[in-house]
A and B are shown apart, each in its own frame.
Chain A
């Protein structure tokens, strides 16, 4: 890594190559070891398989099989089902999450809310509760024996079974919403507070009403933050693992390969097929990139910049 004597925006660069390496080195080393290497390992490992030799004697040998593991993963019905389920889960969660975070942020910053700081803390609080604990808590609230909510609803004649196969995705989405809506709301609140007051004054002088101010000023200015929140939520949905794992003993609606991550985990640790697990992990990573960049391309197309 050498200090290139060209294009020095801030005019600092010469002769400091050694210092740059010292400061950047440790992070890059760890990044390579614990981020890049595992991905590379998975990519390579997904192209091999372990076959026990002839009579099953001796150690299994590693055989190059090209894309066989991918073909096998994508022709395993439970895995394909879990991919579809994940897609459906995203379709449920992303609008819920963005809508809730945006709604709460706009309400808090509408100038009509009292004690906005208290509300901000209350909404943000669940972010500190680990996903596992959140799933445990909501698990108790999803079974009639311990749930005051379900008992109350039953009292007025409404029978809810959140963990039935029709509603279980919503039940899981609710746990994610509870944990992260406040965090996403804070991102949007921070962006709203960065809007210069003159814009609102100008709008008010021009006779813009509340809705017009939201539609013409706030939403366009919030656009980058809304995109950020959406991308984070999409990536978050692809991580889905803990919640179904914790809720599984409570319901028959969740099978052991409920999400792609669970399927990969089971392949690796229950069935001992690390190569197939690697292929599954790579498929999830590719989905993450396709979804994130696909969304970014979609919103950055010229025609869509209207709002």
Chain B
């Protein structure tokens, strides 16, 4: 089937448009009327789906401009008569001594640093698995792949007790260190290195006297750049969206990532309805932030997705 032993290099660096045109099956000629009907139906379904996927985003962006009262008294999919986005934003930033910005910064540190280290370690490991032969290699690889199948929630609880015995819980490290492991990154790094790093290049570098580690750092890693970016992105989003790990590990609100902070505010809604605007505006800002990052880097996602698709 499509499963090939040596998948083609995942296609991130290529412009996706290059693959379109000729591949796309043209609607069969003849019967123009039914073809036209067909494409209208297709567009209708796609538009409907687009409305569905955008609905919560549109709602939260509009709601971020409303006062707590208007949130309940005005129609959710249109502006209120007295928009107050500026006031909401400044309340968001000022609440609890600027906690929101701190949480956003924490999220950036957890996700940025975690994903960067995860990328370096898993790419090196994947590269070595692709290039070198040693006993137990496939067993090691299979074990790492097993990690992909393990639900993260199952790891988090025992990890808490484990880190508790060494006194790490409650610190930045308790979230940062576990976030640096990306089994999927090893998988992606291996299949990418297998196809994108030519043997001749490595041999030539060896003849020039370069050490093995240096070959990886200066030559191979450059050839693996699209895979590196993809690993980084996947891990960044995974860490940013992970809720359970910081929930069990952290107790000091100053170390919270933004997801944990927002649920903290959400739990105070019953006590003080003003927290509605804080939660809504905070959700809008943090959702918008990551969606922006993702969409602008969208083409890099294709490398990982193509790789996953061919290996199945």
Contacts and interface: CB of A to CB of B under 8 A. Distances in A.
Interface of A: 1-4, 6-13, 16-20, 22-24, 26-28, 30-31, 33-35, 37-39, 41-42, 45, 103-104, 107-114, 117, 119-134, 136-138, 140-141, 145-149, 151, 178, 181-182, 186-188, 190-191, 193-197, 200-201, 204, 209-210, 213, 220-221, 223-225, 227-228, 231, 235, 238-239, 241-242, 246, 249, 261, 264-265, 268-269, 274, 277-278, 281-282, 284-285, 288-289, 292
Given A107-B46, A141-B59, A191-B2, A24 B124 contact: yes
A30 B125 CA distance: 12
B199 interface: yes
Given A107-B46, A112-B39, A228-B309, A34 B181 contact: yes
A153 B125 CA distance: 54
B133 A124 contact: no
Contacts of B211: 19
A277 B131 CA distance: 42
A225 B27 CA distance: 25
A19 B20 CA distance: 42
A1 B159 CA distance: 28
B56 to A, nearest CB: 4
A37 B162 CA distance: 8
A198 B42 CA distance: 24
B177 A193 contact: no
Contacts of A10: 131, 133, 199
Contacts of A103: 45
Contacts of A282: 154
Interface of B: 1-3, 16, 19-20, 22-28, 35, 38-39, 42-43, 45-46, 49-50, 52-57, 59-60, 63, 71-72, 75-77, 121-122, 124-125, 127-129, 131-136, 140, 144, 147, 149-155, 157-162, 177-178, 180-181, 183, 186, 199, 202-203, 211-213, 216, 237, 240-241, 243-244, 248, 259, 262-263, 266-267, 269-270, 279-280, 283, 286-287, 290-291, 293-295, 298, 301-302, 305-306, 308-312
A48 to B, nearest CB: 12
Contacts of B16: 117
Contacts of A33: 177
B158 A45 contact: yes
Contact of B158 (A42, A110, A151): A42
Given A128-B295, A193-B19, A223-B1, 12 more contacts: A27-B124, A27-B125, A34-B180, A42-B154, A121-B295, A137-B56, A194-B306, A197-B22, A210-B28, A224-B311, A241-B243, A265-B248
B45 A107 contact: yes
Contact of A108 (B1, B46, B55, B59): B46
Contact of B312 (A11, A28, A225): A225
B308 A151 contact: no
A194 B154 contact: no
**Nearest 3 CB-CB pairings of A with B:** A224-B312, A19-B212, A148-B76
Contact of B149 (A107, A114, A235): A235
Given A9-B133, A31-B147, A132-B262, A111 B25 contact: yes
Contact of A182 (B20, B53, B60, B153): B53
Contact of B125 (A9, A23, A196): A23
Given A130-B286, A197-B22, A141 B53 contact: no
B52 A178 contact: yes
B116 to A, nearest CB: 13
Nearest to B35: A112
A26 B124 contact: yes
Given A10-B199, A221-B2, A224-B2, A246 B263 contact: yes
A210 B35 CA distance: 10
Nearest to A125: B291
